[in-house]
Structure formats: C-alpha cells, structure tokens
Structure 1
Amino acid sequence: MNQDARNADVVVVQARLPLADPHDCTDAADELSLYEALYDTLVRRDGKGYAPRLAVSWAVSDDARTWTFRLREGVAFHDGTPCDAGAVRLSLERMAREDKGYTLGAPAVWRQYLGDARVEAPDAGTLVIRLGAPMADLLDVLVQGYVVAPSALPAYDAGDTRRPCGTGPYRLVEVSDDHASMARVPGHFAGEPANARIRFVREPDRSKRLAMVRDGAARVATNLDVAASADLAEHGATRVVSLAPVAIIYLLNAARGPLADARVRRALALALDRDALIAEVVPGAARPLHGFVSPLHFGAGDAPARERDPQAARALLAEAGFAGGLTLGLDCPTRLPDEAERLTAALGRQLASIGVSLDVHLHPDREAYAHMVRRKEIRDLCVFDSSPMSTYRVLVEKLDARVRGSWWQGYRNAEVEALIDRGRVTVDADARSALYAGAYALLQDDPAWLCLYNPLKATGISGDHPDFALPVDTVLDVARLPPLRRGTEWSPGRAQ
C-alpha cells in the first residue's frame, strides 16, 4: 500500500486482530468486528429482533421445522461472482461440519443446530432450510452465518484465513499480524459506508489504545477503561458507553458435591451483594445481573434478583446439613474475565458472612481452563462468562440436562426444560418471549449459577458524535461509523 493510501485510512484500534475462520463460532467482539465488515449474513440482529440482510424476507412453517428465505437480487461477492442461494447453501453446510464451530473448548457449536438440516436452493433466489427438529430461534444461529464466496472456501479449508471474500461493505486490501486495511465496496446494497478506507490496528494495551484516540493516532478505539476514558471530550473525542450482554457468573457444580443441593445454591445467591461486588472489583464499569441473561436478551425477565438475606441463607445451609459452615473448591482463571482473581477474593469475603469459605485454585492457561470446564471437571464452582446473545442457545447449551452441552454442569429443572420444549415450536415471537421470561423467573428461584453483573464497554471516537451507539451485541460495525476525518498517520511504534 502506498503512503497516500495509508494516510487516507481511518484507524480503528482494538486489542486483537483475529482474522480467523468465520464459520467457527465466536462471541469475541474484536473478531466479529472484522467479519461484520467483510461478510454479510441472511439476517442481522436489530434490538431483540432481526432485520433483512442478504435475505429480504423469510417465513417459517407452523411446526418450526421449515424456513424459507427470499434472497436479495444482484448481490456479488468481492471476486465478482454472484451471491445466490447455491453459494449461501455452501456456507451454511460448511458451518454445520463437525470440525467447525470450535472456540475455547466448545466443539461443533453450529452442528448441533444445522447438522441434521437439509439446505436446499430450488432456484437462485430462494433458500430453504429443513430442520431435523423444530427450532423457532433459528435466526439466532443465522445471524452469525457469514456467507463466504465459494472461491474462498478451499483456502479456508487449507488453513489460510487471510484471503477472505464475502459480500460485506468492505473488502480486504492488506493484512499482517498488526493491521488489516480495508476499502469500501462501491454501491453496497446496504448503503455505502461513510468512510472510504478503514485500517484496523492491533494494540493489546488498553491504556495505549486510549492514548491513541486522545492524540489522534486512531479515530476509533474499542474496549477502553470506562473510568480512564471519561475525559475523552477534553481531547475532542466522544466516549460511547454500552452495556455488554456478556454475563459474568460462577458456574455451579450441580452434578455432585454440596451444590447438587438446590438449597445450598439458593443460599449462595442470597449472600450476594452485587452492587458491593461491582463497587469493589470494577467500580462504575458494570450493572447488576438479575438473571441468567442480560436485560438486552430476547425473553429476559424484568424482576430484580432476590434481595440479600444472610439469615435466610444460613437457615438454608443448616437445613441442608451445613449448620457449621462448609468449604467449597473454586476454579479461577487469571483472564477472561480479567478481574477474575479480584472478583473471587471479593466473593469469598461475602460468602464468609454465611459461613462458607473458598479453596481457590488458579488457572493461568485460559484455553486449558475452558477444556476443563467443558469436560465437567470443575470443583464446586468456577468463574465464567456467558456470552451468546441467544437466550435459546444459553438454555440449550448450558442448562438443559437432556442436551448436556459443553458448559452444562449438572443442573436439572424439569419446569425449565418444559419451557425450552415449548419455545422450540412457538413461532410467535411474543409468545416465545413470554416462555423464556418464565424460565428466567424459575432460574431466579432455583439458580444454576451465581449471576453477578454485565460489564460496561467504553468506545472512543474522534469528534463529537452524541447520537452514535453500538449495536445491541456491542460489536463495532465500521460500516455504521459517522464520517471521520483522517487523523495522524499510524505507525507500529506509535503510542508505545
């Protein structure tokens, strides 16, 4: 790339640049921000509902088994080939392969939903998905069903992920370990982005990202410290604070040990002071989480969590045979969430008030930790984050004892499972939302996890943009950025 072109780039700085396989399931915002620029999906998330993208309309059968999509006409991949129903089918079938959908220990995520489906392309503009089992929430999966040009699939299968070819609003121009430059696609069907060139830059250090947007080395910086970025207006920039849907929780081992007893799980929940935990561990950077999904989720209930009641908690422990207290083994990673050790220490002080002590075991290898959790080898509880935006996926993959998904830890509740089954076949969105709100209430009374908080995310944007907001999943969509004038040229040594 020549110097003039580089100087024309709008620099977006983020912690990671994981340009990986888009058919592997991920909820990592830094990765999804790249995919949202390069690819399109049949539908995209719009609040708690969905909006057309490659599909202009869709219909589902009464039994929630057959989905029919009418595709947008005239869309081409970046290599000039048509994006028709046959091409979409190839991507969806690839998503469903057994070797796909693997992130942090969860194998074949998409296969469990699409593995027994028949994907048909009766004509170039029509796609039909015939599911092996009802799934009224199929759009939850398709919102991450990135459509890749057939010409690019052999390279992906060979492990080369640096030659992406989609239909997205930007195409890749240049990529390295430290940056990825993209150019606007003229005449994109969703409207041309305001900025002609975007340059994603990797900077793992949060304070350096903040410095870059302050001094003009970057026009956008993501995942900033909420408190430290409060002065961005003084530097001619806007701070956008968003509630992240990720849930910071402790998974509870309901298969064996003391937490197999619902009374002990309820006792731990009644000992929590979420506001105090937030104030001590992430002051001003989170909101209390009152149930198993965030308030941004489809079907989330609105009842507050049960009030802290140490006396009732101690009575439940005594009833369960632990009047003299008990010690619980706790597994704690050293990152993801990065505050896990501080959080565990603060939790330990709160639980001590009801006679519960923690035997903490630290795990510095986060991927090995995820595999341990997936194999259901945790002690009594473990720090975790629950990130899918799909309420249905959370229920199925983490709470349904019949599925025993990757993150399920022995929880059983027949009433919750009955609501899941009804949700599978309820195509009316309002009725299905009410079912999931019922599950939300049941899980407050019979907790599978200790639900603590949703983090706040801060994003910095050069200039004054009071109306700019991130999408509900808090993934930066660079195509939606306002016009940003060029800042100081970025170089690898800047803001070190």
Structure 2
Amino acid sequence: MSRSSRRGHRKVAAVALAVSAGLFVSSCADSGNGGGSGDAPDSGSGLSIGPVNEQSGEGDAVKGGTLTFSGYSAVTNLDPAKTQIAGSVAGSELGAIYDTLLRYDPASKEFVPKLAESMEPSSDFKTWTLELRDGVKFSDGTPVDSAAVSASLNRYVTNKGPQSSLYASKVASVDTPDASTVVFNLVDPWTGIESLLSTGPGMIVAPSAQQGDQFTPIGAGAFTLEKFAPNEELILDAREDYFDGAPNVDKLRLISIVGSQSTTESLKSGGTDVAYMRSLPNVLDLIDSGYPGFVDIPSLSYLSLVNTAPGRPGADVRVRQALALATDPVALDNRLNEGKGLPGQVIFQDTSRWHNDVAPIGVDTAKAKQLLDEAKADGFDGKITYLTLQENSAQAMALALQSMANAVGFDFQIEYVNSVADVVKRLYADRDFDMATGSANLAEADPFERLYSNLKTGGRNNAASFSDPEMDTLLDQLGVATSNDAKIEVLAKIQERANEVVPWQVYGNTPWLGVWGQNVHGIQQSLDGIMFFDKAWKN
C-alpha cells in the first residue's frame, strides 16, 4: 500500500451546512503547509471507525425518565417519504417513530433484522424474500403485514422520496404471497436493497397515516408523537406495546442545538444525554474527556464540486486536473487544522472496508501549470469562482484553496453566501456555480447508491452535471457486483477513472461521532450514523 493512497487515522474539521437529496454540503477547516506529494503523515488524532470509550459493567437497565438527543440538524418534516434520512438529518428521530425493516450493524458489517424477521437473496441475487415478524403492529393497532409494507414502498416512490428513483430502477415488481412475506423481484442482481430498507424506504408508514392531504406520523417504532414544534423540539412517548418490549425510557426529547460548541457544553452539563457531532475539535474534546460513542468516517465527505456543464471552466478536464494537482490536502490540513484531519485525494481511505491500492492523482504544481497553460491557449481566461458560506472556517478554507490555485496561474475568486439555503439552491436548483464546497458521504455499508446518484449521467444528485460514458459503465458494473471482492475490484477501476476525469476535488474525510453521557446505555448504531433508542436507558 503506497503512502499516497493511505489516509487512515486522520480527521478533517468540518462545519456541515445542509443535506439535499443525499449530498451533504460542508464548509470545512483543514490545513496547509504541505509537501508536493500529497502523502499523509501520521495522524495527530488517530481516530478510526468504531466505538470509543466503551462502557463496561453497565448492570441492569433502569426504567423511566426522559432521554434528550441533540441531532445535527433540526427536524422539519415527519414523513420519511419527504425528507432525506441520515444520521445527520432526521434519521434517528424518524427511526424512533417508524423503525426500519433492517438495521446495519457496523461492528459485524452486516445487515440484521429489525421490523423484519429475516431477508434472504436468491442464489443470483435477483430475488430477495423478506419475512415479517409475527404480531408486530403499528401504533394505531393495525398489523405490519406484507400489504402494509408494499403500500408504504409504493407511497414512497409515488411521493418521489430521495431514494425512490434508484429503488424504482432496480425493483421490477413486489409480490406478497402471504401476510408475512414480501418478495422483491429485481431487474438485475443487486445487494443494495438491504441498504435502502435500512433507511428511508424501510421506514414503513401505516396505511392510516395518509388521509387525503393530511399526514399523521403513524409507524411501528418504539415511540409515538406527543409534540412536534418544527425547528424547536420533537417529544415522543414510549410505546408499551412495542414488539420488542416497552422502551426503558418514558420519553424522548429530540432537539437540535445550534453550534457544536454549544452542543458539547450541553452534553457536559447534562442538559443533553446523546448527541450527533461533526466538528473535529469538539469530537476530539469529547473523546479525550472520556465520553462513550461511535465514530464513523464516511468516504468522500470532504471535497469541492466543479461544475462541468458547457460554458463553465470545469467543462475542460484540464482545468479540473490542474486544480487537483495544485491542491495539497495534507498542506491544507497542516495549515488549518494542526495536522489532525483525514486529508487525502482517494475515494476510500484505509479506514474504509472499500479501500484499494490505487494511488490518487497526486500533487504536481508544475504539471498543473502546464495543463492550465494549455487550457488558456485554447481560450480559457483562468478565472474560476468558488462558492461557499460566509462563515469563519469556510472562509479560511476558501482562502487556502485560492492561494494554491493562484500559485499555478488561476484567477481564483471567492463568492460567499449567507445561508445554507442559498448554497443548496445554487447547487441543486439553479446549478449556478463554477466550484463549490460539498460532500458525497459514501456510507460504509454500501457506497453504490451515492456514487451512482452523484456521478451517473443525469443522476438525481449530479449537481456538477458530470457525464462520462466509461464512468457510467463502471457504475453499472458496481451496481450488479454481489461480493465485496467484486465491488472492491470495480471501485479500484472507478478510482483509476476518477484520477483521469476528476469528477470532484477531493481533500479527505470528515469524522462523525454519535456520543452520549457515561450514565447512558443501550444506544444501537445503524446505517449512516442513525441511532436507535428503544433499548436506551439512564442510570
């Protein structure tokens, strides 16, 4: 394994701004004094995927009380078909109401049943049979049967939920031969259906939830709605008739505290019991202070998007290549984050199960200047505008990128906007940008979905208008790969192609931390930072 392809045990400080259709827009503080190779020195923080400050001798669960969870962003909609589901946005909150058919166990790296009793593929992975548990009921008392599951999935597609287009393209039909069996007939071999059923599409909505235009959050999860004040708090009551036994706590209070430092202070003071964190200084502070939790490191979580639409500077691959060759992620990390980040240019660092030994594009300022000069000779004026948030760490990052780009001959200009909504609108609605802060956040469980939606020609989340027939072919090959070895083989080819066509400007990864107080126990982890609280308790 070359050092240039290794990015393990390093962190990037990030202030995440928004989530839109599966792509998390982030403003990040990384560093820069770097050498020209792009190699990553040993990490100053040493984080890796997995539990931290593990608790022992927890004893018997204590019943009662209220558990307060501070999510990364405020919940604004309780309909899983109308909101992105992830740990950073609504995933843990809505999971408490609806549960999911499956859960991803990050320790075993396998999908395990939750509402479902089992899910098994055919030998060719073109048919998946899901068996439901006996006696599971929605909070309105109606059964969670195959008809309800099928209806909820149809509703998700009809409402154009964030993952609906992928689901519709992969699932040819659904059969319900009896009340407890759901059979998914796929277009091609596909393992990613387990991932989908562990997030938004797998949050089954009761048939009674939708009455005309009126939606009521009725699910099969461990909690029911007591109060919902959007952008303020969500209060949930424990269900005594939950299929896996009544939750230990009486209530969940789900809030979102603005600012990671304020969230940290609330956790330390006892005002918050559990939190979802992404700011590296606060993540390291809480870990060093002995707080238990789980670290996740999604791939491609720290990058910039370059608009490849005709008429934009990034339409010329030489411009994209020059930007990448001019930008040293290690230098950024040293300069802005004291060398404690996860800098790198590869898609999958060696903290990931999907890591391969393909080296990144590298850092070569002489070659960057040569490519830029060639583009200028063909009419490019050298100007490129970078879109980011008017926020201290985002400004520091923008200035560092500007310095490196201008050093090889770019006229790198910075455009600041005041709100997350402005960034999202410019990227996804207007597609009005040359280059912008961004992230793809590929989940460890299955990176295919977000790679596909962000890279595939015409993809739902392809804000950069990237199009490459060879990459499309590789993405299709990844979609039908059914073993981890086969997936890694295709992902290595995707890395090789990415080095040539540069679909993103990759700077490294950003860690996430699900964290709780020493007196909190029983938190279950799932896909993409989602946490479940049905077994949680406080002493």
TM-score, reference length from structure 1: 0.81
Q: Against the structure 1 CA distance between its residues 444 and 475, is the aligned structure 2 distance closer, same or farther, given a 3 Å change threshold? A: farther
Q: Against the structure 1 CA distance between its residues 396 and 12, is the aligned structure 2 distance closer, same or farther, given a 3 Å change threshold? A: closer
Q: Distance in 1 between matches of 2:161 and 2:463?
A: 17
Residue of structure 1 equivalent to 2:387: 332
Do the aligned partners of 2:330 and 2:344 also contact (CA within 8 Å) in 1?
no
Do the aligned partners of 1:236 and 1:464 also contact (CA within 8 Å) in 2?
no
- The answer to whether structure 1 residue 46 and structure 2 residue 100 are counterparts is no
Do the aligned partners of 2:524 and 2:532 also contact (CA within 8 Å) in 1?
no
Q: Against the structure 1 CA distance between its residues 235 and 421, is the aligned structure 2 distance closer, same or farther, given a 3 Å change threshold? A: closer
Residue of structure 2 equivalent to 1:94: 155
Alignment partner of 1:399 out of 455, 458, 463: 455
Do the aligned partners of 2:96 and 2:221 also contact (CA within 8 Å) in 1?
yes
Residue of structure 2 equivalent to 1:12: 69
SS at match of 1:212: helix
State the 1:472 CA deviation: 5.6
Q: Against the structure 1 CA distance between its residues 469 and 328, is the aligned structure 2 distance closer, same or farther, given a 3 Å change threshold? A: farther
Structure 1 segments unaligned to the other structure (5+ residues): 1-6, 103-108, 486-496
- Which amino acid in 2 is paired with 1:22? P
Alignment partner of 2:308 out of 248, 254, 258: 254
Q: Against the structure 1 CA distance between its residues 230 and 436, is the aligned structure 2 distance closer, same or farther, given a 3 Å change threshold? A: closer
Q: Which has the higher contact order (CA 8 A, sep 6+)?
A: 2
State the 1:446 CA deviation: 2.9
State the 1:363 CA deviation: 3.1
State the 1:437 CA deviation: 3.2
Q: Distance in 2 between matches of 1:340 and 1:302?
A: 31
Do the aligned partners of 1:171 and 1:182 also contact (CA within 8 Å) in 2?
yes
SS at match of 1:75: coil
Residue of structure 1 equivalent to 2:466: 411
Do the aligned partners of 1:301 and 1:438 also contact (CA within 8 Å) in 2?
no
Q: Distance in 2 between matches of 1:338 and 1:447?
A: 28
The total of aligned residue pairs comes to 465
SS at match of 2:464: coil
Residue of structure 1 equivalent to 2:277: 223
Alignment of 1:104-123 (within 5 A): 109-114=163-168, 117-123=172-178
Which range moves more in the overlay, 186-195 or 375-384? 186-195
Do the aligned partners of 2:301 and 2:442 also contact (CA within 8 Å) in 1?
no
Q: Against the structure 1 CA distance between its residues 461 and 426, is the aligned structure 2 distance closer, same or farther, given a 3 Å change threshold? A: closer
State the 1:50 CA deviation: 1.9
SS at match of 1:227: helix
Q: Distance in 2 between matches of 1:79 and 1:338?
A: 48
Q: Distance in 1 between matches of 2:519 and 2:299?
A: 26
State the 1:204 CA deviation: 1.9
State the 1:212 CA deviation: 1.8
State the 1:314 CA deviation: 1.9
Which range moves more in the overlay, 341-350 or 465-474? 465-474
Q: Distance in 2 between matches of 1:239 and 1:423?
A: 32
**Per-residue deviation, residues 98-124 of structure 1 (Å, max 9, x unmatched):** x4325xxxxxx4134326743221211
SS at match of 2:416: strand
Q: Against the structure 1 CA distance between its residues 76 and 374, is the aligned structure 2 distance closer, same or farther, given a 3 Å change threshold? A: same
State the 1:352 CA deviation: 1.8
Structure 2 segments unaligned to the other structure (5+ residues): 1-63
Do the aligned partners of 1:291 and 1:443 also contact (CA within 8 Å) in 2?
no
Q: Against the structure 1 CA distance between its residues 269 and 202, is the aligned structure 2 distance closer, same or farther, given a 3 Å change threshold? A: closer
Q: Distance in 1 between matches of 2:135 and 2:507?
A: 47
Alignment partner of 2:127 out of 59, 66, 81: 66
Q: Against the structure 1 CA distance between its residues 282 and 84, is the aligned structure 2 distance closer, same or farther, given a 3 Å change threshold? A: farther
State the 1:450 CA deviation: 0.2
Q: Against the structure 1 CA distance between its residues 200 and 395, is the aligned structure 2 distance closer, same or farther, given a 3 Å change threshold? A: closer
**Per-residue deviation, residues 294-332 of structure 1 (Å, max 9, x unmatched):** 667674535453432212222333344459995333241
Alignment partner of 1:23 out of 58, 81, 88: 81
State the 1:91 CA deviation: 0.8
Which range moves more in the overlay, 437-446 or 322-331? 322-331
Q: Against the structure 1 CA distance between its residues 209 and 423, is the aligned structure 2 distance closer, same or farther, given a 3 Å change threshold? A: closer
Q: Distance in 1 between matches of 2:140 and 2:227?
A: 16
Q: Against the structure 1 CA distance between its residues 455 and 479, is the aligned structure 2 distance closer, same or farther, given a 3 Å change threshold? A: farther
State the 1:42 CA deviation: 2.4
Do the aligned partners of 1:44 and 1:51 also contact (CA within 8 Å) in 2?
yes
Residue of structure 1 equivalent to 2:95: 36
Q: Against the structure 1 CA distance between its residues 363 and 467, is the aligned structure 2 distance closer, same or farther, given a 3 Å change threshold? A: same
- The answer to whether structure 1 residue 203 and structure 2 residue 257 are counterparts is yes
Q: Against the structure 1 CA distance between its residues 25 and 451, is the aligned structure 2 distance closer, same or farther, given a 3 Å change threshold? A: farther
Residue of structure 1 equivalent to 2:44: none
Which range moves more in the overlay, 186-195 or 62-71? 186-195
Task: Please report the RMSD computed on the Cα atoms of aligned residues, expressed in angstroms.
Answer: 3.5
Q: Against the structure 1 CA distance between its residues 232 and 407, is the aligned structure 2 distance closer, same or farther, given a 3 Å change threshold? A: closer
Which range moves more in the overlay, 229-238 or 172-181? 229-238
State the 1:184 CA deviation: 3.5
Alignment partner of 2:228 out of 168, 172, 175: 175
- The answer to whether structure 1 residue 431 and structure 2 residue 490 are counterparts is no
Residue of structure 2 equivalent to 1:387: 441
**Per-residue deviation, residues 378-436 of structure 1 (Å, max 9, x unmatched):** 343222221353422233222122x4434253434333222222233333443234223
Q: Distance in 1 between matches of 2:428 and 2:495?
A: 23
Residue of structure 1 equivalent to 2:196: 141
Q: Distance in 2 between matches of 1:340 and 1:101?
A: 30
- Which amino acid in 2 is paired with 1:266? Q
TM-score, reference length from structure 2: 0.75
Q: Against the structure 1 CA distance between its residues 67 and 330, is the aligned structure 2 distance closer, same or farther, given a 3 Å change threshold? A: farther
Q: Distance in 2 between matches of 1:440 and 1:55?
A: 36
Residue of structure 2 equivalent to 1:77: 138
Q: Distance in 2 between matches of 1:224 and 1:421?
A: 32
Alignment partner of 1:443 out of 498, 516, 526: 498
State the 1:243 CA deviation: 2.8
**Per-residue deviation, residues 100-150 of structure 1 (Å, max 9, x unmatched):** 325xxxxxx413432674322121111122345664422232222211111
Alignment of 1:312-351 (within 5 A): 312-321=367-376, 327-334=382-389, 339-351=393-405
Alignment partner of 2:116 out of 55, 60, 66: 55
Q: Distance in 2 between matches of 1:284 and 1:197?
A: 41
Do the aligned partners of 1:331 and 1:363 also contact (CA within 8 Å) in 2?
no
Q: Distance in 2 between matches of 1:288 and 1:467?
A: 33
SS at match of 2:104: strand
State the 1:367 CA deviation: 3.4
- Which amino acid in 1 is paired with 2:415? H
Q: Against the structure 1 CA distance between its residues 30 and 165, is the aligned structure 2 distance closer, same or farther, given a 3 Å change threshold? A: same
Q: Against the structure 1 CA distance between its residues 201 and 308, is the aligned structure 2 distance closer, same or farther, given a 3 Å change threshold? A: same
Q: Distance in 1 between matches of 2:188 and 2:332?
A: 42
- The answer to whether structure 1 residue 455 and structure 2 residue 515 are counterparts is no
Q: Distance in 1 between matches of 2:288 and 2:376?
A: 58
State the 1:348 CA deviation: 0.8
Q: Against the structure 1 CA distance between its residues 213 and 421, is the aligned structure 2 distance closer, same or farther, given a 3 Å change threshold? A: closer
Identity of aligned residues (%): 24
Q: Distance in 1 between matches of 2:252 and 2:314?
A: 50
Do the aligned partners of 1:226 and 1:458 also contact (CA within 8 Å) in 2?
no
